[in-house]
Structure formats: C-alpha cells, structure tokens
Structure 1
Amino acid sequence: MNCIAKLVFASLVGAGLFAGMNVQAAQKPAAASKPGKAAIASSHQLATDAGLEILAKGGNAFDAAIAVGAALAVVEPESSGLGGGGFFLLHRVKDGKDIFIDAREAAPAASRSELWADADGKLDSDKATNGPLSAGIPGEPAAYVWLAEHYGKLPLKASLAPAIRIAREGFSVYSRLHRSIDRRSAVLSRWPASVQLYLVDGKAPEAGSTWRNPDIANTLERIARHGNDGFYRGEFASKLVDSVRASGGIWTLEDLDSYVVKERAPITLNYRGWKILTAPPPSSGGIVLGEMLNMLAGYDLAKLDQVHRVHLSVEAMRRAYRDRAEYLGDPDYVEMPINELLSPLYAAGLRASIHPEKATPSDLLPGYMPPGEPEHTTHYSIIDADGNMASVTKTVNLTLGSGFVVEGTGFVLNDEMDDFALLPGQANAFGLVGGEANAPKAGRRPLSSMTPSMVIGEDRVGVIGTPGGSRIITMVLEGILAFIDGDLPEKVVANPRFHHQYLPDVVSAEPKMFSRETIRALQAMGHIVNESERTWGLMNMVSWDRKTNTLHAGSDPREEMSSAKVQP
C-alpha cells in the first residue's frame, strides 16, 4: 500500500469512518437504438461544418474528428494547430472499445534544465515561452494519421479536404483572432516568417478581413499524401529542424522521426450510477476529477443549499489540486500512485478532513505549488449517427504558441516546454512551481490539465470538454454534475463557473455566479471570494438521450464563433 493510503487508512481506523464511503457502482448502459443523426460542437462554425460535411460523405465520428481538428488548425491558430498536440478520447460502437490517444508534444532529446536558465541560474521566461527553444515535438499531425489508419472509414485525404479548402479560399478574421495576434505582435515581429503569416503592415489583420493561408494548405496536402513521412521525415522535417536550430532551438531529425502517438487506457470513474471516461496521465485531469468526484460522492449534493454545495466542492477542489503536482507526470517515465489516489479509501480520508461549516486554509495542507497551465486551448465534441463518440482537446500552449513560424509551413510552433517544471523548484512563467515528476527529459510529455471526457448513464450520454488552463478540470467537474442533475448541453456550457486550485487560496467566480448573500455566507465560512473575475473557458458538449433518441449540442456562448449543430 502506498504511503498516502497507509496514512489515510490509519486515520480512518482511529476515527471509525469506513461506513458509507464507497462510490456507487456505475450501471451498465441499457441497449438502445442508434441516434440516426449526428451532433458536433466546436469553437468555430467552419470547423463544425467541416465535421458534418465529412459525416455526410460516409465518414464516422473519428473521420469527423480529423476534419474538425484540421479546420480549427486553420481558423483558430491562436489555440491549436499542426505545431501543437492534444488528447483524443474515443468510444467505438462496433466493439465497445474506449481508447485515449495521447498526441501530447514531447521534449527533444537534448533537453536539459540549464538551457532555460538565465545568467543567474533563474528561469528565463522568454526562453521558456517564446521562440523555438520553447517548442516540443508536435503530435497533432501524427494523431490525424493514426485516427485515419486505425479508426476512420475514409482516407486521410478526404478528411483533410475541408481544412485545405478553407485555407485556400480564406475565412473572415473574427475578433478573438484579431485580439490574439495583436496581443502577441511584438513576439511575432521577431521572426520574418511569423510576420509574413500573421501581420499586415506590422499589425494584426482587422476583424472582418479575409485571411488565406496557402502554406498550411500545402502542409496538409503533404500529410494527406504521405502520412507521417510528409511531416516527421524527409525534406519537410529537414526544413523544420534547420529553421528551429538556426534560431536557437534544439530539435533534431531523430526527435521528429521517433515521435509516435500513444494509445492509453482512459481513466474510468463511477459516480452515483454514472460511468465517466476521462483522460489519464500525462493529463492530470482524470485523476484530479476522480479525486473530486470521490470526495463529493459522500454527500447528497442535490439536497444541499448553494452555499454548502459550493463550500464542499471548493474543499474537494483544494485537496485534489494539492495532489496534482506532487504525484503526476508522464506515465512512461514516472511511477504514480494512481490506484491509491482514486481509491474510495483515500477519498474518505480527504473527506474526513473537510469541516462542513469552515474553509480549510490551503497553508494548513502539506505545501506544494501546482504547475501553471495555458488558457488558450480548444475542445470539440462529436457523436455520430451510429453512436461513435469523440471528445478532443488540443493546444499550442500560450496564445499563438511560441510565436515562431518556419517559413513556408503555415503554422506556429507550440511553446509547450513551459508546461514542464523546467527548473524544478523555481517558478515558471505563471509564477508557479513544479517538481521532478514533471521535469523536462528526452521524450517526456509535459503534464496537462486537458480533460476530454464522456459521461455515460442508463438513459443519457454526454461528451464534454473545454479549454481554460488550470480551470479546465473544475469546469468539467461542474459540467458533469450539471448534466447528471438534468441540464442539457445548451445550459451546461452556459452555466456560470467557479474555481479553486489549492493555491492561490481564492475562490474565483465568474460574474453572476454568486449572489451577494452567497458571497457573504462563503466569506463567513472563511473562504476568500473573488467575485468580479472575467469569464473563462470555451466548453463544447453534445449528448444523446437514449430514451427519446434525441441529440443535443451546446457550444459556449462566451465566444462569438462557437458552433453546435445537430443534423436535421
């Protein structure tokens, strides 16, 4: 038994707290007819339409996942793209297979901590977040090849065709894209190829103008023709490596050639009769989500007033986020006590430390700072007519990633190296600290909060996820609980949100989340409430009601271009 479980076991024996601590087993979903139609929710209408187009041509949810993702790489470069990576959670109907495809970026073989240190041995945030030294080896192109070869029905060329067309014909610049390029313009201005791709006369293209990207169309066509060889090997790979190294990066041809996507078993959780499939490491999302749900399973949340439901949720968030950084990392390199962290026994011990009327100051828990996490990511959810499902979250890390573009490629490289604890014990660009479990070493994949998930009940199924940095996991938690309570996706994605992540010891709340009376009650319990935060996240969810055989799709109203559609 792991040390944390032993400690909890001893505390429970002394306190006599074994009764009623088990999470209820999930019921096996009843057999039902196929939906007969499909539903897609994404952050851009052109991407949603691309997925529906591929479904209309005979593709399945996995072909559509390629089409939506590639279209987002074209129209939403601030959040994801061919220079980044992501996680793909899939459910295949024909054999009931649930699989998690890990296409997270990987550290180059030459990675060593001192590369990101300044003259005083401190972390140089500019090196960590800007330029090619900040870039890990991309995984998104390999994910599309893998999906087409192992799960799709159509050739990769067909699934990439809508994105290629959009890139050549152009699309209208929307306000978020304009703001993102404007915000990063000083960094983009450092490299001629970045200027050529993203700036017009030194400035961000105006909202409403037409933006074409023939270079990314050419890159996508190369991948369509040659698969991984069109990106990770040969002439194109040499171009990437030569440009990266000429500007201070450390990529090699071997780094690109050795990159592979990895299939992993999803985390399977059981909460009050619901089965939840979610992301395993190198995502921290599934473990943290599981810890929170296991703690909350000991309470009848439906019978609680808002103040106590929020209080208990915050206390569960606080404890789960505390564990996040200490134990989790790349599963291929780090041994993690996953079974113990997800055990009802451990959850009961954590629950026993929660006072029903008082906040637990985070500085009274064992000290640890969680690593930072980017906010500029994207998520999309798909259910096809046969009931196949895809929940996909992908990113380039910060807005427009590293800001570095290799000439003629049409995409920006990620700055995912900053998601590692580049210098263990020293604050990263977000002012937060990570540990050895998430240190940058050859081939390692950095810890992430991306939490693509599926919620499976006897009569209803939901596919959910969101961007939002370290707040992703709490957003998915709140979305899952709202869906279980009966909310449809259209409401789930629009609900106001709150968040706590251990440190800083503050309850963040979107505007209109709490009434004045609720805030006063939480403060009386000892919580610090930030009641005037901006909104966050861009959640996309689809669901299938098996009893009525109806589909629903919801896309976050916080974003002007978001799009959720059910086939007529």
Structure 2
Amino acid sequence: MISTQKAILPSFLALAGALFLAPRGSSQSAPKPAAQAETVRAWPKQAVRAPHGMVVSDEELGSQAGIEILKRGGNAVDAAVATAFALAVVEPAAGNIGGGGFMLIRLADGKTTFLDYRETAPGKATRDMYIGKDGKLDEEASVIGYRSVAVPGTVAGLELVLKTYGTMKLEDVMAPAIRLAEGGFAIGEKLAAALQEESPGLDAFATSKRIFLNSGRMFKTGDTLKQPELAATLKRIAQNGAAEFYRGETAHLLADEMAKNGGIISLDDLASYKPKVREVLRAKYDSGGHSWEVLTAPPPSSGGVAIIEALNMLKDVPLKGWGDPQSVHMVAETMRRVFADRAAYLADPDHSKIPVAGLTDPCYAKERASTIDPFKASSSKTVTAGTPHVCGAARNSETTPHLVSSKAEGRHTTHFSVVDAAGNAVASTYTLNDSYGSHVTCAAGFLLNDEMDDFTTQPGAPNSLYELMQSDANAIAPGHRPLSSMTPTILLRDGKLSFVTGSPGGPTIISVTMLSVINWMRLGMEAQAAINAPRFHHQWFPDRIRMEAEFPLSMEQALRARGYEVERGWYYTPSLGIEARLSKHMGLVNAIGIDAQTGERLGAADPRDQGSAIGYGGGKDSAQQPRSARKP
C-alpha cells in the first residue's frame, strides 16, 4: 500500500508573530515584510510508516517520482536520481539540472560513498571579477545574470551515481521528469506564491519571463505549467547521457548563450567538468544505551566537519531539550565556536590543506568546550578560531587560520531522503544557490545557478545575505569548487541504518541538520517530533542567536538574561526586489527514521514548507493514515 503525508504550514500565535525583530538599522528605514498568502493548518504529529520504501522531499510530485521507480524494482539510488530530475521540473527554485550538490549513500551491505557534484568556477573566472574600477563590489553581478553562473554539476553527478550504484537505465529513471515537463503539472499555492515573489528577477530575462511568469500574465493556483524546452533537453540527456549536457547540443546552446550575454562558461569548461567521489566523514558516539555512528559530508562541505566537531564538544554535556534554556545556551555556544573554526579552515580540499583530522578530534573538541561559560553568553569578539590537532600531536603552523571574509549559500536549496526495501539509503542535497539561482533560464529550458556568489567575492566585505564569515582560501579561481554548508547525513544505531537527514538553508543547514541529529540520537524524539521541534542558530558573526517563532517569550527572556542578542528569523529581499520578506523558520529537513523493532520506514517531511513523505509496501496501493512513529 502507499502511505502519504503532505506536511503543511502551521498557525502562529499573534504574540509570536509580534516578537520578530526588525533588521538592524541602516541609512534607510527597515522595509516591512510583504504580505504572503498562507494556508493555516496544523502540523502533523506523526511520521508516515511504510514497510518497504520511503521517499521524502519538498514536493509531492518529486516524492511520487521516486516511489514510482521503487515500485518498478529500482533501488534507493535509482529512486534518488528519479526524484532529483523530477524536482528539476516541479521545484524550479532549487531542484535543478543547472546547479550542483552532494549525495551521501549507504548501501544495505554497509558500503558508503559520498558524491560531490558541486559546481566549479569557469576557466575565465578571476579572484576580483566582481570588483569594479572603483574598488567596490558589484553585488548584483555575482547573484543574478550570466556572470554569476558556475559550471553545473548535477547531470554529471546523477549519471555517475546511477551507473555506479543504480540498477536501472537513465531513460527509465528520467521518465517521470520528462512526463511532468512535457505534459505539465498543476501549479500549487506554494509555487504560485514563489513565482510572484521572485518575479522581479525572473522578469529581467525573456525566457524566464515567458516560462515562469506566463509572459507577464502570472500563473495562478491550479494553472498548468508546461516546459517543452526542458522536456526536449531531458529527452536528449535520457538518450545520450551526460555527454549530451556537457558536449552535445545542450552544451552548445548554453555556451553560445553565455558568449552572447557576457557569461564566461565555455564549451571547454563544460567538457572538462568531472564529479568527485570522496571519503565519507565518520564519528562514533554512545547514547541511550546504543552505539551510534554518524556518516556525513566531507569538504568542500563545511557542514560535516562542523557537525562532528559540535557533537564531540557536546558529548558530555547534559541536554534536556529545547524548552530548557541551559541546553539551548550550551548548544548555541558550541555553534559559535564551530562557526569560528569553519571561517578559518574550510575550503575546497583539492586546492587547500584542511585540518579535518584535528577539527574532528575529541581532544580538540574538549579544549574548545572548556572555553564555554556554562552560565553566560560569550562575546564573538573574544572567541576566535582554535588550533586544531589530534590527540597527542603538537600544534603546528600548518593549522594557522586563514584570513576571513564572508559568503554563504543562498537560502533555497532542497534536500530529499530515500530508503528502499533492502535498506539502501540516500541523503541528497542540491541547489541553484539562491532561489531560482541566477534567474536566467537558458534556451535549453532550465534555470542556471548563481553559485559564483558562494566564493569569497570580496575578502573582508560583509555578505548581504547571511553575513557569514568564511575563509580567504575560498577565493574565486578557475576550476575551484566553492565552500558549501550542504550536509546530507545518515545515522547508524548499533551498526544498522537508523536516520537519514539533511536540509537547505544557507549556513543554517549546519545548525538545523545538527539539531535533527541531536533530536533523534540524544533526545530520543519520535521521527516527526525531531523535525517539528523548534530551531535556533548561532554562526559566530553576527553575534546573535536566531530563533524560530515557536519558542516562547520566556526562552527569549532567559537567553537575553545570559547576555545574548536574540532575533526571531531574519529579513531577506528577493533578487531585484524592493520589499523585504520575513523568514520565520529555518531549514526544511526531509528525513527518514527506521523503527528499530519493526524495521518500518518513518517518513518525516518538514511541515515548514509543505514537504511530502510517501511510502509503499504490503500489496495493493491505498492511502493510509500515519500511525504512531515512536522511536524505540
């Protein structure tokens, strides 16, 4: 049978809404958040249970594509590739073939691998390419338009993982995506609102305006979105593989359009792109009478290193839950120090020496944790990066912190999780960077990323999107991969698959994914509760803790009494927009837990943006109300 969950937005107390703080003052008055249509319904309290397979993604049609492949006998990798291509059609803000990402795989036989198909800087890219003659940063050039585009990696990555670990042909797993692009799909309330919000940026490019803004007439909920150019491109890829995208008709279409519009991606850049297979980061812990192993993302993700360092620092710290100010304080101070180290040491591992062993060493974590005052907030002005080292090893000059500057992923990435009947698991996070990437839709019908903004475009200058501090080693250079926060993660309990997780959200990816891990591993929450639980974030600079609306006023007051500056959410402005929007929540975790007693898959979609968990098994297809998803 098929069991489904459509997670939906919650209602907020009027008091909670009033507690959000305005952004810091500037020469102009702070703009008010734009009004947004919002369907107000309760969050689900239980995960979806299914005995065989589960797919959890941001979009119901994306999850259905994965389930379709599982039902046809495909494994989790086959289903993940199908889901990724389908999201490129139905979630244009982040699902993509014009971007890049990471995929973490843990097979039922215990084998693990990490696929890095992150975008790369084109051959003509230069360190100061976004600095004008006046020495000032051109802030728009790296986030919108043709010059903001890095060489896409998604198609190469998905083909490689399918060939290596899948069981089906590319044309078979791409069939659902092609069907959705060619035949169209009904636009939901969420997509209609998103297209309206991003219309200033999309309107600046003719093809984007025609496809996504209905030639200026704007789509409404219930309208059908057909994408014939994208369907044709997907068909060519299905027939000819990634070679079509990087050396065939699609490559020529993209390179020609770049040349005519001031972009710098060439045919050589496309032909030379290669995804990377990297070693999975691992760490072991004991909690609740069980042995746990965390499998997570290595560099150029900064998230895996950060999460392991944080979990090491919190190893001996009692955690009662997020209604306890002491627990929130200790985790926030841990985040502060982890982000200071992230700023100093993380970069592209192919071009920089990164002290991963030291950063993830328990002895170093103990040293870092010893600097936390258990009763009051530290000042980020006095908290600096540490000197990572492994137990018993002397510190050395190779771990000297780099100069720092500021960059981060855009706010809209997408994460999905897949587990099949055999126990193969996939955690995958991929992105266009900001919502709708560069906002350029090329002649081949797909949106292009604005991933060049993930590099350090101006060392020492503040990031307008996230103000995130980051290493000078992340400077723009041909062929380099920009630093990322994307952190697909899998947990094993007593050697068996237990939890598959990950999130979008720029720098909050690290905090949000870590909190989901703590909720499941340390606090013993049920699957859906682990996703619904309120979230908070501290990233060293700016020196403030950000909290979701669900935290009560009493928690905010308790943290302020300890010396924290507290904000509820943050403001952002869509590309080329003039009206700020208030983001009330952090991340969109789409996770799968495993019931240790029954083996059932527990699909927990994030209700913050209508995520979708779909499972199957047991014979005939039918809808099923989710039962209790208690973790033993």
**SS at 2:104 equivalent:** strand
Report deviation, 1:302: 4.2
| Higher mean C-alpha displacement, 185-194 vs 424-433 | 424-433
Aligned residue in 2 for 1:58: 73
Give 2:481's aligned amino acid. Answer: R
Q: Distance in 1 between matches of 2:321 and 2:251?
A: 58
Partner of 1:177: 191
Aligned to 2:560: 523
1:427 to partner: Cα distance: 3.1
**CA displacement at 1:519 relative to structure 2:** 2.3
Q: Which amino acid in the other structure matches residue 493 of structure 1?
A: I
> Is this contact kept in 1: 2:527–2:604, CA < 8 A?
yes
**Corresponding position: 1:338 with 2:359:** no
Query: What do residues 328-366 of structure 1 show as CA deviations (whole Å, max 9, x unaligned)?
Result: 111111101111111111111111100110110111113
- In 1, Cα distance between the equivalents of 2:532 and 2:321? 23
Total equivalences in the alignment: 531
Give the Cα–Cα distance (whole angstroms) in 2 for the partners of residues 374 and 532 of structure 1: 15
- Note the 1:284-303 alignment, pairs <5 A: 284-302=302-320
User: Per-residue displacement from partner, 1:269-324 (whole Å, max 9, x unpaired)?
Assistant: 22323100011111100011111111100213249971111110000000001111
For residues 155-304 of structure 1, what are the structure 2 equivalents within 5 Å? 155-272=169-286, 273-302=291-320
Residue identity in the other structure for 2:88: A
Q: Is 1:442 aligned to 2:478, yes or no?
A: yes
Alpha-carbon distance between aligned partners in 1 of 2:484 and 2:569, rounded to the nearest angstrom: 27
Give the equivalent residue in structure 2 for 1:492. Answer: 530
**In 1, distance between residues paired with 2:471 and 2:128?**
15
Cα distance in 2 for partners of 1:540, 1:295 equals: 26
Higher RCO, 1 vs 2 (CA within 8 Å, ≥6 residues apart): 2
**Corresponding residue for 1:5?**
none
Structure 2 alignment gaps of length 5 or more: 1-49, 386-403, 571-583, 619-632
Aligned mates of 1:256, 1:235 — CA distance in 2: 12
Kindly indicate whether the alpha-carbon contact (under 8 Å) linking 2:186 and 2:224 is maintained by their aligned counterparts in 1: yes
Query: Is the partner of 1:288 in helix, strand or coil?
Result: helix
Secondary structure of 1:339's match? Answer: helix
* Letter in structure 1 aligned against 2:491: V
Alpha-carbon distance change, 303 to 422 in structure 1, aligned in 2, over 3 angstroms: closer
Within 1, Cα distance between the matches of 2:312 and 2:469?
Answer: 27
C-alpha distance 247-40 of structure 1, shift in aligned 2 (>3 A): same
Alignment partner of 1:318 out of 336, 343, 346: 336
Which residue in the other structure is 2:153 paired with? 139
- Residue pair 2:99, 2:431 contacting (<8 A) in 1 also: yes
Cα distance in 2 for partners of 1:566, 1:271 equals 32
Instruction: Give the whole-Å Cα distance in 1 for the aligned partners of 2:469 and 2:540.
Output: 13
Find the aligned partners of 2:553 and 2:470 in 1 and give their Cα distance. Answer: 36
Deviates more, 1:292-301 or 1:518-527: 518-527
Q: Is the 8 A contact 2:406 2:463 kept in 1?
A: no
Contact 2:151 2:269 in 1 (8 A): yes
In structure 2, what is the Cα distance between the partners aligned to 1:436 and 1:504?
18
Question: 1:406: how far off?
Answer: 1.5
Residue 435 of structure 1, CA deviation: 3.4
More moved, 374-383 vs 455-464: 455-464
Q: 2:559 is aligned with what amino acid?
A: L
CA gap 1:432/1:342 in 2 versus in 1, 3 angstroms: closer
Contact persistence 1:462–1:544 (CA under 8 A): yes
Distance 1:336 1:523 in 2: 36
Letter in 1 for 2:507: S
Tell me the equivalent position of 1:348: 366
Report the Cα distance in structure 1 between the residues aligned to 2:364 and 2:75, rounded to whole angstroms. Answer: 40
Residue in structure 1 matching 2:450, options 383, 398, 415:
415
CA contact (8 A) 1:213 1:410 kept: yes
Map of 1:32 onto structure 2: none
Q: Which amino acid aligns with 2:453?
A: D
Conservation of the 8 A alpha-carbon contact between 1:551 and 1:566: no
* Counterpart for residue 542 of structure 1: 592
Residues 379-418 of structure 1 aligned to structure 2 (within 5 Å):
379-407=415-443, 409-418=444-453
Give distance in 1, aligned partners of 2:532 and 2:323.
21
Secondary structure of 1:88's aligned partner? strand
Greater mean alpha carbon deviation, residues 191-200 or residues 362-371:
362-371
Aligned residue in 1 for 2:127:
113
Number of the residue aligned with 1:553 = 603
Counterpart for residue 104 of structure 2: 89
Structure 1 residues 432, 274: CA separation in 2 closer, same or farther (over 3 Å shift)? closer
Which is helix-richer, 1 or 2? 1
Amino acid at match of 2:438: S
Q: How much has 1:411 moved relative to structure 2?
A: 0.8
Q: How is 1:365-384 mapped onto 2 (pairs within 5 angstroms)?
A: 365-366=383-384, 368=404, 370-384=406-420
- For the Cα contact (< 8 Å) 1:494–1:557, is it kept in 2? yes
Instruction: Find the counterpart in structure 1 of residue 499 from structure 2.
Output: 462
Residues 98-123 of structure 1: CA deviation (Å, up to 9, x unaligned): 10000101100111023211231221
TM, length-normalised to structure 2: 0.81
Alpha-carbon distance, 1:529 to partner: 1.8
Contact 1:318 1:362 in 2 (8 A): yes
Deviations 1:340-399 (A, max 9, x none): 111111111111100110110111113855522211010000110000000000100111
Give the Cα–Cα distance (whole angstroms) in 2 for the partners of residues 75 and 37 of structure 1: 25
Distance 1:532 1:380 in 2: 23
Question: Structure 1 residues 540 and 567, CA, compared in 2 at 3 Å: closer, same or farther?
Answer: farther
Q: Check 1:452–1:161 CA distance in 2 against 1; reply closer, same or farther (3 A cut).
A: same
Give yes or no for contact 2:323–2:555 (8 Å, CA) kept in 1. no
Asked if the contact 1:292/1:317 (under 8 Å) is kept, the reply is yes
| Structure 1 residues 494 and 278: CA distance shift in structure 2, 3 A | same
Q: Which residue of 2 aligns with 1:76?
A: 91
Instruction: Find the aligned partners of 2:505 and 2:614 in 1 and give their Cα distance.
Output: 19
Tell me the residue number matched to 1:48: 63
Q: Which residue identity lines up with residue 513 of structure 2 in the other structure? A: V
Contact 2:468 2:539 in 1 (8 A): no
Structure 1: gaps spanning 5 or more residues? 1-34
Aligned CA-pair RMSD:
1.8
Amino acid in the other structure paired with 1:469: G
Taking a change above 3 Å as real, the CA distance of residues 558 and 324 of structure 1, as seen in their structure-2 partners, is: same
1:380-423 CA distance string (max 9 Å, x none): 0011000000000010011100011221x121100000000022
CA contact (8 A) 1:418 1:428 kept: no
In the aligned structure 1, how far is the partner of 2:228 from the partner of 2:594? 38
Contact persistence 1:321–1:370 (CA under 8 A)? no
The answer to whether the 8 A contact 1:123-1:428 is kept is no
Look up the match of 2:163: 149
User: Percent of counterpart pairs with the same letter?
Assistant: 39
Structure 1 contact 322–370 (Cα < 8 Å) conserved: no
Q: 1:343 to 1:203 in 2, by over 3 A?
A: farther
